[in-house]
Structure 1
Amino acid sequence: MIELKTPAEIEAMRPAGRFVASVLTALQDAAAVGVNLLELDALAHKMIRDAGAESCYIDYHPSFGAMPFGKVLCTSVNDAVLHGLPHDYALRDGDLLSVDFAASVDGWVSDSALSVVVGTPDPEDLRVIETTEKALAAAIDVARTGNKLGDISATIGEVARDAGYTVNTQFGGHGVGRTMHGDPHVANDGRPGRGMKLRPGLVIAIEPWFMRETDEIYTDPDGWTLRSADGSRGAHSEHTIAITDDAPVVFTDRSAV
């Protein structure tokens, strides 16, 4: 069921967005060669406790997960492209790290993700990161009242193909509100002019993710981490936004942190 938020509810969602943005900013600053993924998870956990927020991940157990997630953020490194389960791994020079984080503040959720290269970057890693960011910005720009959900999806797919990437549509964006995942599903490819009409009060997470040389994935033995089928590195960018009568509200905008 798709629920439209009132203007007052949209205002009430802003603190969650600001908090999620602040945690991702702190994680981006902390990510460095030699830092353990468990240290990043511990940092996010501390920020959750200090803010009186609630994790959306730690007890999360959807049908595709082998068990409750058990950590408070996803850390996907190199060929791990989504849902990376934090484990005892120290980041190495040149690693491509994607961090995905969602939390609830006063009962409202925001969800966001970013990708960075730790240490010496491979230009092709920077290129795939930049493409996800470009796709996200373009998708947000068309997320306006009167357009269709397919316009968002088509925009993401077009940016990916223009850069020479193929698109996996198994996982994508989603509705956000009192829970992390809800309707509608926001695919990372589609046809313009199709799907539901975008209306004021619709709150969604838009999250393009691409891999350098494939669109096929498999599940790691840990039961959660999704890896590229051929070892290609991948990147992931995400914001939670609200459709309004004017420009979309980007709750998780890190430039305001």
Structure 2
Amino acid sequence: MALIKTLEDIKEIKKANQIIARLYTDILPKYIKPGISTFEIDKIVDDYIRSQGAIPGCIGVPGIYEPFPAATCISVNEEVVHGIPNGRILQDGDIVSIDTVTILNGYYGDSARTYAVGNIDDEAKKLLEVTEKSRTIGIENAIVGNRLGDIGHAIQQYVEKNGFSVVRDYAGHGVGHKMHEDPMVPNFGRSGRGFKIQEGMVLAIEPMVNVGTYKLNMKDDGWTVVTKDGKRSAHFEHSIAIVDGKAIILSELD
């Protein structure tokens, strides 16, 4: 069953998400440029989250082999999700996805954004635009009376119409008291199917969109997920709450 949140819960979940919103809007754009390493970006994220009285939610999450070792997931180009920050230096023309979870007073925020590094080509520009727009379309379908399949169907239709593919092995989810809660929110599917959307639900809507195939591989580290064909991927995520029958975005900067 989905965990239905009170208005007070939603207020606290929004506070956790606003830290990420400020990070993505006011802090990271100053640093994400050619020449910075993903390790340096992770340090910036870690320091900022802690400066706001929160803690990074990704550190220590159990994995296949080892717990996740960093404050945030940083995935570059063909890396789809769960990239481990390291010494990789960002190059002009790269795209980099930052997926961050915060814990503030026991409540979780969760949001992701893909950034252009320097000057990116037209294909990458279109990929970012389509992925971000597909997130908006998914959120617009998150209304009382719809089902989760309506969200996934709308995202899939838009993405495929634009010549890209939607990742199927990873999905959105409930969020708030934990990082991952029921229900799963796939980014593909059939309208009219799935769990009914209810007042008080808090969901992470997060399309992951690939230039080529939707099929994936995992690197030997047990965390970093990459496209099977080596083509690029983008990831945009918002945490939303269903209030008065429709979605309000918690991870968008006030």
* TM-score of the alignment, normalized to the shorter chain, above 0.5: yes
Q: How many residues align?
A: 253
Q: Which residue of 2 aligns with 1:223?
A: 222
Offset, 1:10? 1.2
Any conservation in 1 of the 2:165–2:209 contact (CA below 8 Å)? yes
* Equivalent in the alignment of 1:44: 45
Query: Quick one: which amino acid aligns to residue 90 of structure 2?
Result: L
Any idea what the Cα deviations from partners look like across 1:160-199, whole Å, max 9, x if unmatched? 1111122221101001011111110000101111111111
Please tell me whether residue 59 in structure 1 is matched to residue 63 in structure 2. no
Partners of 1:160 and 1:66 in 2: CA distance: 33
1:199 touches 1:244 (CA, 8 Å); kept in 2? no
Where does structure 1 lack aligned partners over 5 or more consecutive residues?
none
The sequence identity of aligned pairs, in percent, is: 37
User: How far apart are the structure 2 equivalents of 1:44 and 1:119?
Assistant: 20
- Where does residue 10 of structure 1 map in the other structure? 10
Partner of 2:235: 236
* 1:145–1:244 contact (8 Å) kept in structure 2: no
Match of 2:87 in 1: 88
Alpha-carbon distance in structure 2 between the residues aligned to 1:106 and 1:199? 25
CA distance in 1, matches of 2:43, 2:101: 15
The runs of at least 4 consecutive aligned structure 1 residues that moved more than 2 Å come to none
Residue 173, structure 1, aligned to residue 155, structure 2 = no
For 1:20-49, what per-residue CA distance to the aligned partner results, in whole angstroms no more than 9, with x for missing partners? 111222223310010111111001111122
Bigger Cα displacement from structure 2, 232-241 vs 212-221: 212-221
Residue aligning to 1:201: 200
User: Using the alignment, how far apart are the partners of 1:226 and 1:85 within structure 2?
Assistant: 10
Contact 2:3 2:181 in 1 (8 A): no
1:149 is aligned to 2:144: no
Aligned to 1:71: 70
Alpha-carbon deviation of 1:246? 4.0
Secondary structure class of the residue paired with 1:248: strand
Contact 2:167 2:207 in 1 (8 A): no
CA contact (8 A) 2:50 2:56 kept: no
Q: Give the CA deviation at 1:234.
A: 0.6
- Kindly indicate whether the alpha-carbon contact (under 8 Å) linking 2:102 and 2:110 is maintained by their aligned counterparts in 1: yes
User: Using the alignment, how far apart are the partners of 2:248 and 2:51 within structure 1?
Assistant: 26
- Partner amino acid for 1:42? K
Deviation (angstroms), 1:205:
0.2
Does residue 109 (structure 1) correspond to residue 108 (structure 2)? The answer is yes
- More displaced, 187-196 or 159-168? 159-168
Superposition deviation, residue 222 in structure 1: 2.0
Alignment RMSD (CA, Å):
1.2
Answer yes or no: is the 8 Å Cα contact 2:239–2:251 preserved in 1.
yes
For the residues of structure 2 that align with 1:79 and 1:10, how far apart are their CA atoms?
34
Structure 2: tracts of 5 or more residues without a match: none
1-side partners of 2:226 and 2:4: how far apart?
A: 34
Classify the secondary structure of the residue corresponding to 2:234: strand
Task: Letter of the 1:111 partner, please give it.
Answer: D
Question: For residues 49 and 253 of structure 1, what CA distance do their matches in structure 2 show?
Answer: 20
